[in-house]
């Protein structure tokens, strides 16, 4: 059995004031975190910054998860770590997605042609919404839980 084509993609769960940003994807007709394909010669974190800027106009992001090791001559860069990863089906192919947790101080969004709307959702809105896909909800609730844990530490 031949496996489906798999593309490497990223998704950014962006938090601001206790809420997460979702955009309504025009082509897919779904509420999703900003994200997209990783381009040639692009690191995943560069793809996050590019996709978020293209889809939302937000250009100031802070990656939440980083691991630092002592500098070494062979290490060119230390990249932010995804907080979650999965492979999901998008119809005729799969996406291997690295999800990043980011923060921004800007709640102003400038939509691109790819998105029709945006909204900042609270944990209650995420849990109760009937128009957010179940996988987006589950990952979003994981984001809110991680934020709670960080506040306790």
pTM summary value = 0.90
Provide the 8-state DSSP code for 72.
Answer: -
C-alpha–C-alpha distance, residues 102 and 89, integer Å: 24
Q: What is the CA radius of gyration of the chain?
A: 16
Answer whether CATH 1.10.3720.10 is correct for domain 6-152. no
Buried b (16+ CB within 10 A) or exposed e, 102-117: bebeeeebeeeebbee
Residues of the chain short of pLDDT 70, as ranges, are 1-2, 150-153
Nearest to 9 by CA among 45, 33, 46, 36: 36
SS3 of residue 84 by DSSP: strand
* Residues 51-88 pLDDT 10s: 999 999 898 999 998 887 887 888 888 899 999 999 99
pLDDT for position 105? 87
């Amino acid at each position: 059995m031949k496996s489906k084509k798999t593309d490497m993609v990223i998704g950014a769960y962006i938090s601001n004031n206790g809420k997460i940003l979702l955009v309504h994807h025009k082509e897919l007709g779904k509420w999703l975190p900003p994200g997209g394909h990783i381009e040639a010669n692009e690191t995943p974190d560069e793809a996050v910054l590019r996709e978020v800027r293209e889809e939302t106009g937000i250009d100031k992001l802070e990656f939440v998860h980083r691991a630092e090791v002592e500098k070494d001559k062979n290490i060119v860069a230390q990249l932010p770590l995804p907080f979650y990863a999965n492979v999901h089906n998008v119809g005729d192919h799969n996406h291997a997605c690295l999800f990043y947790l980011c923060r921004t101080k800007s709640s102003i969004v400038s939509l691109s042609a790819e998105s029709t709307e945006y909204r900042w959702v609270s944990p209650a809105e995420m849990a109760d919404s009937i128009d957010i896909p179940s996988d987006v909800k589950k990952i979003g609730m994981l984001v809110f839980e991680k934020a709670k844990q960080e506040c306790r530490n």
